[in-house]
Structure 1
Amino acid sequence: MEAFTCRECGNRLYFENSACVSCGTRLAYSREEREIVPVSPEGRYVDADGYVWWVCANTLDTGCTWLARIEGGICFSCQLTRTRPNDAAPEFVQQQYSLAEQAKRHLVVELDTLGLEIRTKAEDPAEGLTFDLLASDGIASTPDVVIGHDGGVITIDLAESDDAYREHVRATLDEPYRTLLGHFRHEIGHYYEWQLVRGAELMQRCTEVFGDESVSYEESLQRHYSQGPPAGWTENYISTYATMHPFEDFAETWAHYLHIRDTLGSAAAYGLTDPVPADMPFRQVVTDIWVPLSAALNVINRSMGHDDLYPFVIPPAVLDKLDFVASLVSDAG
């Protein structure tokens, strides 16, 4: 995430800021300018070309501060949500929904930064992207929510925004890491594999790197949860979940690519590292910059009494997978 400053007074801003704590100016995020911009007290912004923008109508519901094209309208990120909790949902569900929308906005900025195209279902009903943000308590949506991707529809269980619930699931599944943003990054990986891995040559290369995706997903799922990961899995996979099926291996690798790219971007923006050279191969980015930085951040977390920031080891086989994902992004961007 980039470092932002207030255009009115130069004070440092954070991505979620709706007002400058120094000068009090009301703020909004312009996706077109990729900047936090000052808006009038009524939420109005006029860009350099004279177009008028308005703060998203969901600002009261979710804290969204993005700009929308029309007064009373919603922003691009909010438009990506197809299903949300209804107004009768309990307050805690509304809070979960707000946190999910916040994570989705972060994801959209990441994808924009990488130059990846985001088509909505309104623009492309067959292959566009949309999100169903559902509550698994049965009040706001359905009793059983399965997080996943299907034909451009990404489903997220809002319960994953609750720290206690998510930690319980993480411990139950013996995972080293589980976050709401991580779910968004993983599921968008499924979407972009569907979008970017096309053509016989590229599909063959993907199979060579990740394995045969034609094997039964259902049988792989049952085997994974009944038998666990194969012996020696750490030599070839980034996580136990990645061992389940090549689809999940790709999505896990994609998520870690986003983890690394975004964290390195934030570190550079705040002066912790130099910016990553544009021509540096991604495997070198990992070995020369990411591994030393993440090791240092892990120690810092331990100094504060927290778990490791990045509790993963990246073996050579996973470097090959990360390189493949990086090449897809580079070609698409």
Structure 2
Amino acid sequence: MQVFNCDQCGHLVFFDSVECLHCGATLAFLPQSLEIAAMEPLENDRWRRTGQKGAQTSAVQRFCRNRTEYKACNFTVDDSDPHALCVSCRQTRWLPDLSDLANLRRWRQIEAAKRLLYYNLARLGLRPRPGERAPVYHLLEDLEGQPRVMTGHDNGTITLNVAEADDEERARRRISLNEPYRTLIGHLRHECGHFFWDLLIKDTPNLERFRILFGDEREDYGEALQRYYAKEDKLTGWQDSFISSYAQSHPWEDWAETWAHYLHMVDLLETAASYHTRVTVPDPAQPHDQRVENPFGANRPDFATMLEQWVPLTLLLNSLNRSLGHLDAYPFALSAGARCKLLWVHELLQQHRYDSELQYVDEAASPEM
């Protein structure tokens, strides 16, 4: 995630900011341009960008209804859009009981993670165009007498148990499942990987390459998971070929885990680049100093460069965490097998972006019938 600057005063602001702490300007995120903007009020609860960008050239906006009613969003909606909710919030189709203050807090946290995911996907060229299919979300709570809500993906619908927003519950599940890492954004990145498998791989020429790298997804999924959880040695022997222990359970899960890690990579690299981070690996024999490059910059680094910068950056991140008494923020080591799969995700997304841009140019150039 890049950092932003206030339109009015230039002070540092952030992706989820609603007010500049330096000058007091009202802020909102413009999902069309992926920018934080200082906003000036108009009539009838309309707003327009102000400050350095110039209000006269900016479209009229409304705040997402979840901001005005619940203080749970900072995205805007174009005034010509008939929806009251922003492009991220409208993807949520089911909510828990928000009269429960605990659920209200959980929902706000999950929606914040969803907006970050929206930004990640938009930066990767995966923002749905009008008429295109997008993932939808069911945010559900466990209810007495009802089956337990399981986080997962089913035919484009991502279900998340809202209890995952509670740090203590997430930690309990992480420990009980012997997982090194469990976060809200991690869940969403993983589960959306299943959606994009359907979009980018299923019934496409990419399926053959997928099966070479990840295995045959036609293996019975339920039986594969049962075997995985029954294995006493499931935490060993996977490191050479998989990015996590869970990735070995089934090719679909291997893909989703790899996809999530690729999103971790590009987001952390973009964040580091926005702070002009330079990383020096402390090797007395051969010190190596380099500035982290933005994977979405004008001169995008290739995957080899991204990986070369990713490894020392995560070492630094983990060392900083340990200095504060926390566990490693990124408790993974990338084997040759995992790197090969990450490379393919990178190449697949580069090709998808190229094909989408060509299609957009062709459609724009076509005469109206």
What is the TM-score when the length of structure 1 is the normalising length?
A: 0.91
**Structure-1 residue corresponding to 2:66:** 58
**Structure-2 residue corresponding to 1:73:** 84
Higher mean displacement: 307-316 or 51-60: 51-60
Question: Cα 1:78–1:48, aligned 2, differ >3 Å: closer, same or farther?
Answer: farther
Higher mean displacement: 33-42 or 317-326: 33-42
SS in 1 for 2:272: helix
1:315 paired to 2:335: yes
SS in 1 for 2:158: strand
SS in 1 for 2:160: strand
**Structure-2 residue corresponding to 1:91:** 101
Separation in 2 of the partners of 1:188 and 1:119? 17
Q: Considering only aligned residues, what root-mean-square deviation do their CA atoms show, in Å? A: 2.1
Separation in 2 of the partners of 1:195 and 1:236? 25
| Higher-Rg member (1/2) | 2
- The count of corresponding residues between Structure 1 and Structure 2 is 325
Separation in 2 of the partners of 1:92 and 1:200? 43
Higher mean displacement: 318-327 or 220-229: 220-229
Residue 201 of structure 1 and its aligned partner are, at CA, apart by 3.5
> Aligned partner of 1:52: which letter?
V
**Structure-2 residue corresponding to 1:118:** 128
**Structure-1 residue corresponding to 2:352:** 332
After superposition, the C-alpha distances for 1:97-133 in whole angstroms (9 at most, x for unaligned) are 110000000000000111113268xx45xx4321111
Separation in 2 of the partners of 1:261 and 1:332? 16
SS in 2 for 1:37: strand
1:134 paired to 2:155: no
SS in 2 for 1:82: strand
**Structure-1 residue corresponding to 2:317:** 297
After superposition, the C-alpha distances for 1:244-293 in whole angstroms (9 at most, x for unaligned) are 0000000000000000110010000012143246554324421x100011
Question: Cα 1:61–1:138, aligned 2, differ >3 Å: closer, same or farther?
Answer: farther
Separation in 2 of the partners of 1:275 and 1:230? 34
Higher mean displacement: 229-238 or 297-306: 229-238
> Aligned partner of 2:293: which letter?
P
1:108 paired to 2:111: no
Q: Give 1:27-42 correspondences, 5 Å limit.
A: 27-41=27-41
Residue number among 272, 281, 291 corresponding to 1:267 in the alignment: 272
After superposition, the C-alpha distances for 1:146-172 in whole angstroms (9 at most, x for unaligned) are 111111111111111100000000011
Higher mean displacement: 99-108 or 77-86: 77-86
- Percent of pairs with identical residues: 37
> Aligned partner of 1:267: which letter?
A
Residue number among 199, 206, 213 corresponding to 1:209 in the alignment: 213
Q: Which runs of 5+ in 2 are unaligned?
A: 50-54, 278-290, 354-369
Residue 68 of structure 1 and its aligned partner are, at CA, apart by 1.2
After superposition, the C-alpha distances for 1:150-209 in whole angstroms (9 at most, x for unaligned) are 111111111111000000000111111100100000001011111001455311100000
Conservation of the 8 A alpha-carbon contact between 2:118 and 2:127 = no
Q: Give 1:162-181 correspondences, 5 Å limit.
A: 162-181=166-185
> Aligned partner of 1:134: which letter?
L
Higher relative contact order (CA 8 A, sep 6+): 1
1:161 paired to 2:165: yes
Conservation of the 8 A alpha-carbon contact between 2:135 and 2:192 = no
After superposition, the C-alpha distances for 1:304-330 in whole angstroms (9 at most, x for unaligned) are 111111110100000010011111111
> Aligned partner of 1:94: which letter?
L
Separation in 2 of the partners of 1:225 and 1:54? 48
> Aligned partner of 1:44: which letter?
W
Separation in 1 of the partners of 2:294 and 2:229? 39
SS in 2 for 1:234: coil
Residue 63 of structure 1 and its aligned partner are, at CA, apart by 2.2
1:258 paired to 2:263: yes
Question: Cα 1:138–1:116, aligned 2, differ >3 Å: closer, same or farther?
Answer: farther
